[in-house]
C-alpha cells in the first residue's frame, strides 16, 4: 500500500483509509466478529488509516461509542500500526429509544469527549481529531482552540474538521493548523469542489472524502433494493423509489466504464476519487473483507482522460438531495 502526505503538518497515512461507522450502525445489523476480522485484514493489506467517531454505534451493541470500543479490540495489540481518526461535536440522544442528535463544540465538551474516546479506544493519543460538525452556538475559534490545547497536551497529534464551509475552514486554520477536512465527495456528490477544495489546497489541508461510493449505490449492488427503517438510506431522498429509478442511469454509465477495464463499478467510482489529486485520501466504509479487498484493488485502476470526462458529467444527472 502506498502512502500519502495528508495535509502539510506532517501526517502520513495509507493512500486509502477505512470508514468504520457501518460496522456499528446505519447499514443493517452489526457483525462484531466479522468486523474485527475485516479490521485485521485491513492491516494485512496496509489500510492503516481508520476513521470512527465518539457517536458511532447507536444501533449496535453498546450504543453510542460502540464503534470506538470495537476498534479497541484490534488496537490493543496493533496500536502503533494504525493511524486513528475520531471525532467529537455531534451529541447522541436516545430518549425512549428515539435517537436524536444535537451539536456541541464547547471547549468543555471538546475536552470531555476526548477523554472518553481515549478510554474507549484504549490508547493514550488520537492521531487525527475532527470537529464532526460546526456548532452554530460556539464560535469555531473556541472549538479549534480547545482542540489545539489537546495537541499541546500530547493527547491529539493533528486537528481536522468535517463538513465545513470554506470560510469556516479559513477561520479554523487561522486558530490552529488544520491537517484534514473530511466531507462527502464522490461521483454523485461534488458540492465541496467549488470553494472548499481550492481553499483547502491553498492552506495545505488534506482532503478525506467519506461515502466515496455513494453509500454503496455506485457499486451497482443496490439495484432494485428497498431499505427498511434500520438502514439510514431509507430516509435519504436519493434512495426513494422514484429517485432510485432515475439514478440507475448513473450506475449504468459507471458500469460501462468498469466493463472496459474488466473491474467492478465501485472500483471505477473509487478510482475517480483517487484521480482527484495526491492530497485526496478516501475512506470507503465496509464491514466485509470481500468489499475491503475490492476497494483496495481500485488503487490499481487507471482511468483515461476521456473516461474521467465522461464520469465528471454524472453529478448533474443525480435525482434527490443528500439528506
Active site residues: 56
* Strand-pair category, 18-19 with 90-93: unpaired
Query: What is the phi/psi pair of residue 38, to 5°?
Result: -65, -40
**188, 191, 192, 194 alpha-carbon torsion, rounded to 10°:** 120
Burial of 148 (0-12, 13-18, 19+ CB in 10 A): middle
User: In which element (H, E) is residue 141 found?
Assistant: helix 140-152
What's the CA gap between 167 and 243, in Å, rounded? 32
Give the other-Cβ count within 10 Å of 76's Cβ.
11
Residue 268 grid cell: 471505477
DSSP structure string for 204-255: T-EEEEESTTTTTGGGTTTTT----TTBGGGGSGGGSHHHHHHHHHHHHHHH
Give the other-Cβ count within 10 Å of 17's Cβ.
27
Residue 49 grid cell: 488509516
Give the other-Cβ count within 10 Å of 306's Cβ.
9
Amino acid at each position: 500500500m502506498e502512502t500519502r502526505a495528508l495535509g502539510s503538518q506532517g501526517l502520513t497515512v495509507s493512500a486509502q483509509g477505512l470508514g468504520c461507522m457501518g460496522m456499528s450502525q446505519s447499514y443493517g445489523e452489526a457483525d462484531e466478529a466479522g468486523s474485527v476480522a475485516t479490521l485485521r485484514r485491513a492491516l494485512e493489506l496496509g489500510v492503516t488509516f481508520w476513521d470512527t467517531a465518539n457517536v458511532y454505534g447507536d444501533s449496535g451493541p453498546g450504543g453510542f461509542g460502540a464503534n470506538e470500543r470495537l476498534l479497541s479490540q484490534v488496537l490493543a495489540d496493533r496500536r502503533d500500526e494504525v493511524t486513528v481518526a475520531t471525532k467529537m461535536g455531534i451529541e447522541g440522544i436516545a430518549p425512549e429509544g428515539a435517537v436524536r442528535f444535537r451539536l456541541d463544540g464547547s471547549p468543555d465538551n471538546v475536552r470531555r469527549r476526548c477523554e472518553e474516546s481515549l478510554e474507549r479506544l484504549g490508547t493514550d493519543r488520537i492521531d487525527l481529531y475532527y470537529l464532526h460538525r460546526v456548532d452554530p452556538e460556539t464560535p469555531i475559534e473556541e472549538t479549534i482552540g480547545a482542540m489545539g490545547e489537546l495537541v499541546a497536551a500530547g493527547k491529539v497529534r493533528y486537528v481536522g474538521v468535517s463538513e465545513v464551509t470554506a470560510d469556516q475552514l479559513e477561520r479554523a486554520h487561522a486558530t490552529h493548523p488544520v491537517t484534514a477536512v473530511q466531507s462527502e465527495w464522490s461521483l454523485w456528490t461534488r458540492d465541496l469542489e467549488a470553494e472548499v477544495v481550492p481553499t483547502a489546497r491553498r492552506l495545505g489541508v488534506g482532503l478525506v472524502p467519506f461515502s466515496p461510493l455513494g453509500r454503496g449505490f455506485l457499486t451497482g449492488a443496490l439495484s432494485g433494493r428497498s431499505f427498511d427503517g434500520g438502514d439510514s438510506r431509507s430516509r435519504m431522498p436519493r434512495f426513494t423509489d422514484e429517485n432510485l429509478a432515475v439514478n440507475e442511469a448513473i450506475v449504468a454509465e459507471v458500469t460501462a466504464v468498469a466493463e472496459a477495464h474488466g473491474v467492478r463499478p465501485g472500483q471505477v467510482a473509487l478510482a475517480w476519487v483517487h484521480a482527484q489529486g495526491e492530497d485526496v485520501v478516501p475512506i470507503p466504509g465496509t464491514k466485509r473483507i470481500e468489499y475491503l479487498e475490492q476497494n483496495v484493488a481500485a488503487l490499481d485502476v487507471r482511468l483515461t482522460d476521456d473516461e474521467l470526462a465522461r464520469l465528471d458529467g454524472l453529478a448533474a444527472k443525480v435525482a434527490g438531495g443528500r439528506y
